[in-house]
Structure 1
């Protein structure tokens, strides 16, 4: 009898632990945000997700996605399903990928995934509810990150890249969590499907202002999308809408083919220890360099002025010079 009671108690504790799912929407399109969604619920609530028909959001109609999103909003809470999202706008993606310290889309996606996991942990930690705090006592502050991790049985993640590498990175960032990283996880696990719907609905709402029949799918290979992008070209600012990802090759090609104005930016002075030559030294009379410790050391003469070559006439006519000291 004691063994049976202990088994029943263990099963009850397992049922009140949480599982979470993570998925994204909009990774590939040239238009709109990339949205990462996370959903979590008690293991005992999973049958309810299955009954409602949670599946990969891409396989559902917009009306069905909206219906399931309404259901999640209705049952949102510790005994239903909760969720969070992180949206990276087309402008943000372009800025990160085209910056001087370029970030890959995989790195941007990983950071987004970490943010939504942290948001989930913060919400669980604040709950401080005895019936879900299985492995740790409730703290006065409402729980800690370690206590929140103890509430979670498994985090299921859908991935497009190398599952093992992605899992290792997540486990390194959150050593207290158990991750299952798989391709097509949104089809296998209802909680990942819920996360997929959170992400897809948020992205759909952003693009509602655009007529899909005109814009197409938003993917680079869609001819309707390409035609629409051509109609949105601005010769100075690139595109008339902020929804275009400038870092996508499709956008770059269209701007080149449409003969948009090419802009050359004047390089700003760098700090002395940056290892980069300053703009004014490029035009100094002494352009020789000497080898010091295997590295080229640029000779600079203090006070050498810029010749103004390549600068706008506004600055040259007013004899405005760059200075690095006052």
Structure 2
């Protein structure tokens, strides 16, 4: 319950596209054909969409924005919408000297790199505006503080006294620059954080 559930960008893009199609259908629009710039394998993506919406013809292609005018137009609308969202972005964080000179957002943009440098934090990483798994963030995590906390996980060979408890390194969770696989180390013996104990919060895997 307390861990992040990782979702890759392909899945996010697919779900967003299907959500848009569903929204249009719910508006009562008679949708016959949909043209999409692929994310991942075009044929697999087309099959996935067709199975979800069997009454619609889907055309999925690489570089579809250069092949089909309707996709070109949608690409322009998407970029304008993104730029507008960034211009009007309101930070959740309240730190001083935060600014929105983000540049284009592309890895090679010096303004984007400078923005990341200006807004990095050794413990918290970046403001919520930034996707931490973005590869461009990796170099900025080399000086990040390594934090550990007690995990709810217990080894299968755990004894009754709980000696098999482990700690999980925060640095391995969510930061691209570190190991993808959760690294476990011997417990400090302190047990779970008092915050979770006091509120009786536990890791939940199954719901009834």
TM bracket, shorter-chain basis: 0.5 to 0.7
User: Larger Cα Rg: Structure 1 or Structure 2?
Assistant: 1
Question: Of residues 169, 183, 191 in structure 1, which corresponds to 2:48?
Answer: 169
Superposition TM-score, scaled by structure 2 size? 0.65
Q: Does 1:225 align with 2:112?
A: yes
Deviation at 1:160, TM superposition (A): 4.2
Counterpart-to-counterpart distance in 1, 2:158 and 2:189: 22
Deviation at 1:323, TM superposition (A): 10
Superposition TM-score, scaled by structure 1 size? 0.44
Question: Of residues 11, 15, 19 in structure 2, which corresponds to 1:111?
Answer: 15
Q: Aligned with 1:267: secondary structure? A: strand
Question: Of residues 78, 86, 90 in structure 2, which corresponds to 1:199?
Answer: 78
Partner residue in 2 for 1:55: none
Counterpart-to-counterpart distance in 2, 1:305 and 1:220: 46
Q: Does 1:157 align with 2:44?
A: no
Gaps of 5+ in 2: 90-98, 166-186, 203-208
Q: Aligned with 2:36: secondary structure? A: strand
Counterpart-to-counterpart distance in 1, 2:121 and 2:190: 24
- Structure 1 segments of 4 or more deviating over 4 A? 209-212, 305-308, 312-315
Deviation at 1:254, TM superposition (A): 0.6
Deviation at 1:300, TM superposition (A): 3.9
Q: Aligned with 1:218: secondary structure? A: coil
Residue pair 2:13, 2:39 contacting (<8 A) in 1 also: no
Counterpart-to-counterpart distance in 2, 1:159 and 1:244: 24
Q: Does 1:265 align with 2:149?
A: yes
Structure 1 pair 310–217 and aligned structure 2 pair: CA distance change class (3 A) = farther
Q: What is the aligned-residue RMSD (CA, Å)?
A: 3.2
Structure 1 pair 123–298 and aligned structure 2 pair: CA distance change class (3 A) = same
Gaps of 5+ in 1: 1-97, 125-147, 270-277, 283-296
Q: Structure 1 stretch 226-235 or stretch 190-199: which is displaced more? A: 190-199
Counterpart-to-counterpart distance in 2, 1:220 and 1:104: 19
Task: Write 1 or 2 for the structure with the bigger share of helix.
Answer: 1
**CA offset digits 1:57-108 (Å, max 9, x no partner):** xxxxxxxxxxxxxxxxxxxxxxxxxxxxxxxxxxxxxxxxx93x43221111
Deviation at 1:249, TM superposition (A): 2.4
**CA offset digits 1:169-225 (Å, max 9, x no partner):** 11111111111111232233333233223322221112225888x433211233332
Q: Does 1:246 align with 2:105?
A: no
Aligned residues: 165
